[in-house]
Amino acid sequence: MYKIGLYIATLIVFCCIVCPVHAEDAKNKSDSCSLAEFSSKYLKFLESGGSSPQSVISNALEQPDTINKVLIDSLKTDSGWQFLKDINLKFETFQANDGTESLGFNYNFSKDIEKHLYSADNTSQSGYSVSIKLEGNIAFDEQTNPTNFLTSNASIHLFHSQGGVISNNTSTGLFNSLNSLEDKMAEIENPDDLLNSTEYKTFSKEIISNLSNQYYFDVSLIGGLESNQSFSEQEYYYGGQIGFDAKAWNPETELARYNIFDWPFAAIRWLSGNDEVFSPRGSTIPTLLAGIDLVDPQSGVVKEMHSGKSVFTRFRTEISFRTPLNKYNKAFFEANYRYYQEINASSDIKNNGLDNFEYFVTAITMSNGMFVSYSNGRLPFDIQKEKVYELGFKVGL
């Protein structure tokens, strides 16, 4: 807890003090890098006559954001590449610890092939869905890939959502009134004026008074392939997974008030004058995933270490948290923790440190693209444990 607190404090200090000073200079940078590296490259660029038109064009063509723009333009037209539209594909510059850079891309794709609600009343809904998901990073130079871990899976989900709204508490008069307030709110063009307006306060009070806690459960059967990008390490996995998400949409509820994960950030918002009172967000209660898999290694170190048996059992879990740092949701704190533990691992595997993998990443992100992040640990197939600090910008398209 002490270490995590220290990371958070470090990130906040970086973000509040260091970043704004360098914000304008760094806006031209297309991806993340340290301040020292950025300064050094910028000086080299100027010294080498980097401001000549040819040099500028050449550099621009090599930038991942240029490629992303071309990609997005291609997808807007009927070019035959439209099937890529549902794949979230982004080119990026990856950077290894020794400073080596390489172009690459990350992709993710998630789609429900089928969804059916077999039980739905006003406030509770149950059903099933069949989904496929793909995600990963591919670097043209594999050594620069920061998260060399690709997953592809198919899953069948049974889900249930309970609560969220208080049913039968509305009337046609209220629908008319809310529409009228919404019309007036939508015409306000200044964020302060909006949040301080009588219309917004009245609208918000009416809506929130009819919101309740929502509990979402998901139980799934899942099977897929995990690998590094060269497929020299690969393993199939089959198992079960549970997901749980609780949200206290009404901030007056006990569940919202006792969202202790948000207390430090509620204090920051309150002390910085962003919130008038200490107000933990019930909408930011962490989400939890946990699963047990049978893992069938096909190649690589994991396969070699399990030469005596064809499959092994693995427990895994993931926890995610994100909360705003100001009232306009322009800055966020986010964190994600993943843990993989082989059950009944042999002493050889334990001695080689391959029985468990732990990965923690936290970041402060801003709507202008600026971010500062810290990650520690490793995912399956990572042999070395790494601590990585990043400070940089992500430029939107």
Partner 1 sequence: MFKWSLDNRACKTTWSTLMELEQLKAVFKDAGSMKMSELTYWNNTDSDDMRTTKVNAIAIEMDNIFTEERGAKYEENKSKETAIQDIKNIMVNSDKLVQDLAEVNDNNYLFWNEVK
Residues 283-302 that bind partner 1 (CB under 8 A): 283-284, 287, 289
Stretch that binds partner 1, among 37-45, 47-55, 152-160, 300-308 (CB under 8 A): 152-160
Is the Cβ of residue 94 or residue 249 nearer to partner 1 in the bound state? 249
Angle, CA 381 vertex, CA 378 and CA 385 arms, to 5°: 30
* Binds partner 1 by CB under 8 A, chosen from 13, 56, 60, 186: 186
Q: With H, G, I as helix, E, B as strand and everything else as coil, classify residue 146.
A: coil
* Binds partner 1 by CB under 8 A, chosen from 9, 57, 70, 117: 117
CB of 245 to partner 1, least distance (A): 4
Instruction: Examine residue 116 and tell whether it contacts partner 1 (CB under 8 A).
Output: yes
Instruction: Examine residue 219 and tell whether it contacts partner 1 (CB under 8 A).
Output: no
DSSP assignment string, 265-308 = HHHHHHHTTSSSS----GGG--EEEEEEEEEEEEESHHHHHTTT
Q: Please give the span between the terminal C-alpha atoms of the chain, in angstroms, as a whole number.
A: 37
Q: According to CB under 8 A, which residues from 233 to 292 bind partner 1?
A: 241, 243-245, 247, 249, 281, 283-284, 287, 289
Stretch that binds partner 1, among 56-64, 263-271, 329-337, 381-389 (CB under 8 A): 329-337
Stretch that binds partner 1, among 103-111, 229-237, 344-352, 380-388 (CB under 8 A): 103-111
- Whose CA is closest to 327, among 287, 261, 268? 268
Instruction: Examine residue 108 and tell whether it contacts partner 1 (CB under 8 A).
Output: yes
The sheet that has 124-139: what strands, in order across it?
Answer: 88-95, 101-120, 124-139, 150-165, 211-227, 234-248, 287-299, 312-324, 331-342, 356-366, 370-377, 386-393
Q: Using CA atoms, how far apart are residues 297 and 299, in angstroms rounded to an integer? A: 6
Cα–Cα distances (Å) from 367 to 14, 326, 330, 381, in that order, read: 16, 11, 5, 33
How is residue 215 written in tokens? 């509990």
Is the Cβ of residue 220 or residue 305 nearer to partner 1 in the bound state? 220
CB of 71 to partner 1, least distance (A): 10
Is the Cβ of residue 56 or residue 208 nearer to partner 1 in the bound state? 208
C-beta of residue 137 within 8 angstroms of C-beta of residue 229: yes
Instruction: Examine residue 161 and tell whether it contacts partner 1 (CB under 8 A).
Output: yes
* Binds partner 1 by CB under 8 A, chosen from 191, 260, 299, 348: 191
Instruction: Examine residue 339 and tell whether it contacts partner 1 (CB under 8 A).
Output: no
Instruction: Count how many residues are written for the chain.
Output: 397
Stretch that binds partner 1, among 156-164, 229-237, 265-273, 298-306 (CB under 8 A): 156-164
| 354-373 footprint of partner 1 as x/- string (CB under 8 A) | -------xxx-x-x------
Q: Using CA atoms, how far apart are residues 276 and 153, in angstroms rounded to an integer? A: 45
